[in-house]
């Protein structure tokens, strides 16, 4: 019950943020010409995932920071710091919100070309959209460009 109220409450906050900052449209989708088996793929999650030895997210403070996660990380070296959704399952198996094992397998099986060296963990409750846009996103974009990524998949939280 409490979980449902929480989801409802944070959905309301998200709706307000969207109204304020979300109205921009991307005019043209990025088109990818090469086949999937040549794609370099990165993953961004806002489910609060980070390395065990990295700084946990300050959830109540609306932490806008980004945590880099090497794409060859083992799931046992990852943890979640987030309180705005029910993390019971994801605490047991991080793949519930951040399917790093599937991605590693898809790359091993050569279904995709390769994984970008870096994945990205963030915590989805970020009231300071200015900090997100001016500090965190540029860090992500710089790394994505540096690593010549073709495709980015994103999961919520």
Q: How far is the CB of 58 from other proteins (least distance, A)?
A: 19
Among 69, 78, 90, 115, binds other proteins (CB under 8 A): 90
Rank residues 53 and 76 by Cβ distance to other proteins and give the closer one.
Answer: 76
Rank residues 19 and 53 by Cβ distance to other proteins and give the closer one.
Answer: 19
Using left for φ > 0, alpha for ψ between -120 and 50, and beta otherwise, residue 48 falls in: left
Q: Per CB under 8 A, does 99 bind other proteins? A: yes
Q: Per CB under 8 A, does 18 bind other proteins? A: yes
36 vs 88: CA distance, rounded Å: 34
| Residues 121 and 69 sit within 8 Å (Cβ to Cβ) | yes
70 vs 85: CA distance, rounded Å: 25
Chain CA centroid to CA 73, Å = 15
Q: Per CB under 8 A, does 36 bind other proteins? A: yes
**Biggest CA pair distance of the chain:** 47
Say if residue 119 is exposed, middle or buried (CB neighbours under 10 Å; 0-12, 13-18, 19+).
buried
Q: Per CB under 8 A, does 92 bind other proteins? A: yes
Q: How far is the CB of 50 from other proteins (least distance, A)?
A: 16
Among 70, 133, 134, 135, binds other proteins (CB under 8 A): 133
Phi, psi of 144 (to 5 degrees): -60, -40
Q: Per CB under 8 A, does 155 bind other proteins? A: yes
| Residues in contact with other proteins by the rule CB under 8 A | 7, 11, 14-15, 18-19, 21-32, 36, 39, 41, 44, 46-47, 85-90, 92-93, 95-97, 99, 101-103, 105-106, 111-112, 122, 129, 132-133, 137, 140-141, 144-145, 149-157
């Amino acid at each position: 019950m409490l979980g449902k109220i929480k989801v409802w409450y944070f959905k309301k906050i998200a709706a307000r943020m969207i109204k304020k900052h979300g109205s921009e449209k991307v005019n043209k989708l990025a088109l990818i010409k090469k086949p999937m088996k040549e794609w370099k793929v990165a993953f961004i999650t806002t489910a609060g995932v980070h390395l065990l030895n990295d700084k946990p997210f300050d959830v109540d403070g609306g932490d806008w920071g980004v945590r880099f996660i090497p794409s060859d990380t083992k799931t046992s070296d990852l943890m979640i710091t987030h309180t705005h959704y029910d993390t019971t399952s994801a605490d047991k198996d991080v793949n519930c919100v951040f399917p790093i094992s599937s991605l590693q397998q898809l790359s091993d099986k050569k279904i995709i070309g390769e994984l970008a060296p870096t994945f990205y963990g963030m915590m989805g409750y970020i009231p300071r959209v200015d900090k997100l846009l001016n500090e965190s996103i540029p860090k992500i974009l710089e790394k994505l460009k540096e690593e010549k990524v073709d495709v980015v998949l994103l999961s919520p939280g």
